[in-house]
Structures are given as C-alpha cells and as structure tokens.
C-alpha cells in the first residue's frame, strides 16, 4: 500500500496548543500571538517571494534571515536579536542512488518556528498530514526543542539514504560472489556507489557548523537545561550520522577489494587451465617430434596403420590427462 504523502506548496500555518491545534492564514498571524503554552509553526513549501515577504512581515522578522534568490545551499547558523536561523540540507533519494539535496531554512523565535523549503521534504509532509489529535503534544514544546526535533528528522534522511546505499552494496556483493563472473560489469556500479558515498559526505560534513553551534552553552539562556540537553543530544546524533556516512565509503572500498579478489581467483583458474593445456600440448609435441626422427624403427614399417596407432595413442594420452586433471582439481 502506498503511504507516501502528496506534495503540497504554499503556506501552511498551524497553531499548536496542549489539547488541540488549529490552522490559520497569513492575515491572522498578527492577531494570534502564541502564548507560552502554545507553538506556532509556519511552513513555506515552494512559496512565492510575495508570500514569503508577507509572512516575514507578519512575524516581524528582519531582512537578515530573509531567503534570497537564488537560495544559498551552504549550511549556516545565525542568531539575531529575538530569533535564530539554521539552514540545512536534507537528502532526497533518487533513482540509482542519485541523491539530491533539499535546502531547509528554519527560523525560530519566541513560541514560533518557521520552515522554508523550495520543494517538499518527506518528513515535513508527513508532519503536515498528521491528524490534529496526534500532534497536540507539540504545543508543550518550546521553539528550540521543536527545532531540535526537526533537525533530528533532517538527520534521519541521511540514515535512510545510507540504508538504501547498503542495500545496493549487498546486491552488488551477491552478484560478485555468484557463480557468474562479474568481469568488468561491476566497475560502473562501483564507481556510481563511490560517487554516491562521496556526495553524501560532502552534503553532511558542512553541517558541523550548525550542530556545534547549537550545542554551545551560550546558545540557550541560563536555566534552560532541558533545551540544552536536547541540543547536545542532537550534536551526538550528528556525529553518529557522520560516522555512518563515513562507513558507507568504507563499504565501497570493501566491495572493490572483494571484486578484485574474485577477479584474481578467476584469473588463477584460467591460468591453471592454460598451464594444463600447455603441458598436455607439449607432451604430444614431444611424441610427434620423436616420431619424426630420421632413424629406422620396426614401428615405421607399419606405415598407414602405424600412423593411426600413433594418433590414437596421442588422443588417448590427452583424454587420460584431462581425466586425471579433473580428478585432482587441476581443471
């Protein structure tokens, strides 16, 4: 059954309270300032520049965090007077491990969180599609804790990408270890896997500036120990994600070594066969050379019969050599 969420674009505004949530429009933003037991989430998915500007104005955000065109793709963390901004890149899986990056900008201030992205991201779409009664606990979260949750889901896109990567690695290694010789047909896939692993690392590694910054003691006010713990846990999760991505590169190296070993084994088998054929052929050549010597022997008086006896003897010797070679595992 297909459980994917249909993509949506535009502005989605949800106000979460402890017991329920409700949807708002842009015009209601100024008149619905969230309280301490509420959390406002504004999601801009492929919104136009005019819609983004209206939301920025309704939330009284400065131009410093306003997305520019074209949207920058480098991860970034910046703190302003009454809000902070984090820009990250989530992974969008594609065919044949063609991983793409989706830029996600998160702006958080007093009791509100804003997410801005040009194309739909799966975990945000699933969040929007949830029933109101299943997300009412979000109203109990502060903006920093909700941002930590969003960034945790963002890191999950890398874990999922590595999971798909490992499946392809297992399929390739099964093909390499099968009875069918892989030959050079595995090399293009190995190159593609190497490129995919390198791309994942290039996408994830620059996020250190974001997660290290969030875990600094001066990022959250004194007394917010729960929030600080969430952000430190998020930094640990980032380190685990980076280790997993690094391990993906090592898996490619291991697969290449397996491919090289199998190729060497197949080469050795061919060399054994060629060596055996050379020995048998050389033995027959010795016999033929002996029969061509210029001396008188009773055997040559047989004439035609002697020729066929010699041919039959050499054929029998070749067949006997093949039989002995198969029994001893030389062939």
Query: Which of 106, 109, 226, 114 lies closest to 154 in space, CA to CA?
Result: 106
More confident residue, 318 or 235: 235
The reply to whether the predicted model has a pTM over 0.95 is no
Average pLDDT over residues 145-151: 89
pLDDT score of 297: 62
SS3 call for 268: helix
pLDDT score of 104: 92
CA distance 111 to 96: 41
Do residues 89 and 207 touch, judged by C-beta distance below 8 A?
yes
> Tell me: the pLDDT tens digits for 180-197?
655 566 778 888 888 888
Question: In this structure, are strands 21-24 and 84-92 parallel, antiparallel, or unpaired?
Answer: unpaired
Average pLDDT over residues 44-57: 84
**61, pLDDT greater than 50:** yes
> Tell me: the pLDDT tens digits for 285-318?
777 776 665 556 665 666 677 777 777 877 887 7
CA distance 274 to 16: 76
**131, pLDDT greater than 70:** no
Q: Which two tokens stand for residue 235?
A: 């930094």
Beta bridge partners of 39: 16
pLDDT score of 290: 66
Average pLDDT over residues 250-261: 80
Widest CA span in the chain? 123
pLDDT score of 2: 35
Burial label for 270, CB within 10 Å (0-12, 13-18, 19+), is exposed
What's the 3-state SS for 144-206? HHHHHHHHHHHHHHHHHHHHHHHHHHHHHHHHHHCCCCCCCCHHHHHHHHHHHHHHHHHHHHH
> Tell me: the pLDDT tens digits for 73-86?
889 998 887 888 89
More confident residue, 266 or 126: 126
Mean pLDDT of the chain: 78
Contacts 24+ apart (CB under 8 A), 16-20: 16/40, 16/41, 16/135, 16/136, 16/138, 16/139, 17/136, 17/139, 18/136, 18/137, 18/139, 18/140, 19/136, 19/139, 20/132, 20/133, 20/136
> Tell me: the pLDDT tens digits for 262-290?
777 777 777 777 777 787 787 777 777 76
Cα dihedral 93, 94, 95, 99 sign: negative
Do residues 107 and 85 touch, judged by C-beta distance below 8 A?
yes
Average pLDDT over residues 102-109: 90
Average pLDDT over residues 143-171: 89
pLDDT score of 7: 44
More confident residue, 31 or 205: 205
Residue 307: count of CB within 10 angstroms of its CB = 12
pLDDT score of 156: 92
pLDDT score of 4: 40
């Amino acid at each position: 059954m297909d459980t994917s969420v249909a993509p949506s674009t535009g502005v989605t505004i949800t106000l979460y309270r402890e017991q329920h949530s409700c949807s708002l429009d842009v015009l209601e933003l100024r008149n619905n300032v969230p309280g301490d037991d509420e959390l406002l989430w504004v999601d801009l998915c492929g919104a136009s520049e005019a819609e983004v500007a209206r939301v920025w104005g309704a939330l009284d955000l400065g131009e410093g965090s306003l997305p520019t065109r074209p949207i920058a793709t480098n991860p970034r963390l910046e703190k302003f007077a009454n809000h902070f901004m984090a820009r990250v890149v989530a992974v969008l899986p594609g065919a044949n491990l063609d991983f793409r990056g989706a830029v996600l900008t998160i702006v958080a201030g007093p009791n509100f969180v804003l997410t801005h992205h040009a194309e739909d991201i799966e975990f945000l779409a699933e969040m929007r599609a949830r029933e109101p009664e299943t997300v009412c606990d979000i109203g109990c979260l502060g903006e920093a804790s909700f941002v930590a949750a969003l960034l945790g889901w963002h890191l999950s896109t890398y874990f999922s990408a590595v999971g798909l990567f490992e499946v392809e690695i297992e399929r390739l290694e099964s093909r390499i270890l099968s009875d069918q010789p892989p030959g050079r047909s595995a090399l293009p896939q190995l190159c593609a896997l190497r490129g995919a692993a390198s791309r994942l690392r290039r996408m994830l590694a620059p996020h250190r500036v974001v997660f290290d910054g969030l875990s600094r003691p001066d990022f959250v006010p004194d007394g917010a120990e729960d929030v600080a713990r969430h952000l430190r846990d998020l930094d640990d999760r980032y380190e685990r994600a980076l280790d997993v991505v690094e391990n993906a590169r090592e898996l490619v190296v291991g697969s290449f070594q397996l491919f090289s070993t199998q190729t060497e084994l197949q080469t050795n088998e061919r060399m054994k066969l060629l060596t055996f054929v050379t020995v048998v052929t050389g033995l027959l050549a010795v016999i033929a050379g002996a029969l061509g010597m210029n001396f008188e022997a009773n055997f040559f008086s047989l004439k035609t019969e002697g020729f066929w006896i010699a041919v039959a003897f050499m054929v029998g010797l070749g067949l006997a050599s093949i039989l002995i070679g198969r029994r001893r595992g030389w062939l």
